[in-house]
Amino acid sequence: MKSLKYIFFLLAVTFVYGQDLRKPDLSDEKYGQHALNTFDFWKAESFTSTPLVIYIHGGGFTSGDKEKVPNKMVKSLLEKGISVMSINYRLTPEVVFPQHYLDCSRAIQYARYNAAELNINPALIGASGSSAGACSALWIGFHDDRADTQNEDPVLRMSSRLSCIGITSGQTTLDPNVIKELVGELALKHSFMKGSFFGISSEEMKTSKAQELVKQASPVTYLTKDDPPVYAFYSVYKSPNNVSEAIHHINFGKYLKEKMDALGIECTVRNPEEVKSSTNESVEFFVKHLKTN
C-alpha cells in the first residue's frame, strides 16, 4: 500500500510540474557576452513564424535560474503554437540596478535580431516571470523602447517593446513609502529593500539619492497609455504572515491595476479563489494577445 501511495504521489507531481516537458531545442545559448547571459529555447512546431514568450526567473535579483521556468506553462504555450525562451541574467552582487533589467532587455532584443533563425515573429513577443522576474518584465514592458539605432552592436539596435506581460507575484513599485502603505512594514525587511540591489548601503536607503534610484527602478514610474496589457496572479491575498508573503502580496497588483485602469489599459489581477488554474488562464491571455489567427 505504501508503494502504491508513492506511485500516486509521483504521478501527481508529474501532472503539476509537467516533468514530461521535452528538452529545449537550444540549451545554454548566449544572448550576450557575460557568463549569465544564457537562455534555453523551445521552438513551437509551425511552418510559419510563431509568437514568443520570454520567461524571467525570480530570486530577489540575487539567485534563481532559467531552469525554474514552469514546465506546465511551457508545454501549454507550445501546444498553442507559441515558442518559449527562458533566460538567465546577472545578479547582485555581481551587478547593481539597472544591469539586471538591461540584461533581460537585451535578451528580448537578441530574440528579435535572430527572429528568422528562431522562427519567431518579432512583432509578437510577450514576457512572463515570477517575483523579481515579474518586476523585470513589467519594468521593460513599461519603459520607453531601448532601441539604440546608432549602436555598434546590432542587437541593441532592436526594439525592446513587448506585446503583453503575464506575471506571478510581481513587485510593481520598489518605493518603500508606497510599499509600507500597500502591505505594511513587513515587506521592507526583505533583503531586496536594503540597498544592495541599488549598490548602496541600508543607511543610504533613507537619502534623496535612494529615492531617485527607487523611482527609476519601479515599473509604475514608466507606465503610459501605450503600454501592453498585463495578467497578474498572486497566491498571497490575505494578511501577510512573513516577509516573503508581504513582498509578494496581491496589493502590488491592485496598485498596478488602479493605474492601468485609469489609462484604459487591460489589467487582470487574480488570486486562487478566483481561478482554478492560473497557468491555463495566463496561457489563454498570451494566446489572446499573441496569436493572430
For residue range 99-119, what is the model confidence (pLDDT) as tens digits? 999 999 999 999 999 999 999
| Cβ contact 125:87 at 8 Å | no
- Looking at the predicted structure, is the pLDDT value of residue 259 above 50? yes
Residue 15 forms part of a structural domain: no
Measuring CA to CA, which residue among 205, 168, 188 is closest to residue 243?
Answer: 188
Residue 268 forms part of a structural domain: yes
Band of residue 191 on the pLDDT scale cut at 50, 70, 90: confident
Task: List the grid coordinates of 1.
Answer: 500500500
Q: What is the pLDDT of residue 10?
A: 39
- Looking at the predicted structure, is the pLDDT value of residue 17 above 50? no
- Looking at the predicted structure, is the pLDDT value of residue 1 above 60? no
Band of residue 264 on the pLDDT scale cut at 50, 70, 90: very high
Residues 62-100: tens digit of each pLDDT: 999 999 999 999 999 999 999 999 999 999 999 999 999
Band of residue 193 on the pLDDT scale cut at 50, 70, 90: confident
Band of residue 125 on the pLDDT scale cut at 50, 70, 90: very high
The pTM for the full model equals 0.92
Residue 19 forms part of a structural domain: no
Number of domains in the chain: 1
Q: Look at strands 26-30 and 38-42 and give their pairing.
A: antiparallel
Residue 213 forms part of a structural domain: yes
Residues 154-187: tens digit of each pLDDT: 999 999 999 999 999 999 999 999 999 999 999 9
Q: How far is CA 31 from CA 38, 44, 85, 146, in A?
A: 6, 20, 11, 16
Gap between the Cα atoms of 70 and 131, Å rounded = 13
- Looking at the predicted structure, is the pLDDT value of residue 137 above 50? yes
Residue 82 forms part of a structural domain: yes
- Looking at the predicted structure, is the pLDDT value of residue 208 above 50? yes
* Helical packing angle, 278-290 and 71-79, nearest 10°: 40
Residue 75 sits in a domain whose CATH number is 3.40.50.1820
Residue 10 forms part of a structural domain: no
Residue 89 forms part of a structural domain: yes
Gap between the Cα atoms of 234 and 281, Å rounded = 13
Gap between the Cα atoms of 189 and 246, Å rounded = 9
Coil, strand or helix at 140: helix
Please list the residues that pair with 233 across neighbouring strands.
168, 270
Residue 16 forms part of a structural domain: no
Residue-range definition of the domain harbouring residue 60:
25-290
